[in-house]
A = this chain, B = another copy of it.
Amino acid sequence: MTAPRFHVTYRVTPDDSRPIESHAKDICIEETVEIPEDCVPKGHWEAGIVGIIEQITERPGAPADYDVRISYRTDIANEAIPNLLNVLFGNISIRRGIKIIGVEFTQAQLEAFGGPRFGIDGIRRDLGVSGRPLATTAIKPLGLSSRELAALCGGYARGGLDVIKDDHGLIDQHFHPFEERVSRIQDEIRTANARTGGVTHYYPMLAGRFDQVESQAAFAKQQGCYGVLVPPLLIGPDTGFYLARKYDLAVMTHPTFTGTHFHDPRHGMTPAILLGTLFRLFGADISVFPNSGGRFTFSGQECQDLAAALRGPLGALKPAFPSPAGGMTIEKVGAMVEAFGDDTALLIGGALLRYSPDPEVSARAFVSALEAAVAARKEKRS
């Protein structure tokens, strides 16, 4: 039994009186051979084709739960994203009380999936920005014309923002068709960059039918966009990562349609696993998530764990930017810098619209607040 194996830690909250070993074995079988235990061919057990329980740790509480560490042969999961997700959390997603809290991949898996192609250093190099977080925004609202959105972007770029992404609701609607929007916005940003001598990157949203997303990625590249905004669970967990690699685009991931994983502390995956480790493994250079204290539900600790999963050691994979967002404001910049440090893509969206009718003014205020916060943090530490 020498086939390489990877490890997954599930937090299991039994919903019946069977012993935890029985629940753990259910996972081992359900995520691999998916047949009654007595029908598993003898050779399958010997070859380690069925998942193997490596460790069970009880966590006392009411109800008690257990951390169950299971190993799987890497060749069951293959090297494609859908297949890996199928083994991690396929059919058992429809059982009760199972949450993925840890994953450990083999070197070969890390190399096969590859992780970020630009990463924090690559994006900083191409922006020419060091020593501070990135100033990032989302352009909105949907329903404006392409011209109005482009004008906003021009102002943001002249005001010094580093990264502009489409709001994730900006798809290929008639208000602002994808190609018209992307070419107008990229033109405005190019003009602004030429005028200021600065660099602003634009990430348009990939969304549409199977046959549309590839032409969107190709068009974004052709127009000179630096990256694309990828909603993995909306267009397919593999789709956007694959297309970004093919067309040499950076990847900013968006968490839309992922929230069912996080709603129940006893089910799904933690934000650190799905939006952190997995999205980074798959190729995210920047991972957007809803910061605590905004409109959404993540706790401060969950956000810190997520940032650590994006930036901490993961084989030879490049670190990725955490991008806390969702109801953030210029007033919160100091606290966000304190909480997340320099290697962060701080994202303020709607609040920039509210700050001033002139996007250039809003952008300058955001960047100034960022620089002031970084200076204050340095002073505090010295």
Contacts and interface: CB of A to CB of B under 8 A. Distances in A.
Interface of A: 26, 30-36, 38-41, 44, 47, 49, 75-76, 78, 80-83, 85-87, 89-96, 140-144, 167-169, 171-175, 207-212, 214, 231, 233-239, 242-243, 255-264, 267-268, 290, 295-298, 326, 349-351, 353-354
A168 B91 contact: yes
A354 B39 CA distance: 6
Given A49-B143, A140-B34, A143-B49, A93 B259 contact: yes
A171 B262 contact: no
A264 to B, nearest CB: 5
Contacts of A350: 34-36, 39
Contacts of A41: 141, 143-144
A169 B354 contact: no
Nearest to A353: B39
Given A80-B212, A141-B44, A263-B268, A34 B349 contact: yes
Contacts of A76: 142-143, 169, 173
Q: How many copies does the complex hold?
A: 2
Main secondary structure, interface of A, reads loop
Given A49-B142, A80-B171, A93-B257, 17 more contacts: A30-B295, A32-B141, A33-B140, A35-B349, A36-B351, A36-B353, A38-B354, A40-B141, A41-B141, A49-B143, A75-B174, A83-B172, A91-B326, A94-B296, A209-B238, A209-B242, A234-B237
A263 B264 contact: yes
A44 B268 CA distance: 37
A32 B239 CA distance: 24
A96 B174 CA distance: 32
**Listed residue (A171, A172, A242) with the most chain B CB atoms within 10 angstroms of its CB:** A171
A49 to B, nearest CB: 4
Contact of A236 (B33, B239, B298): B239
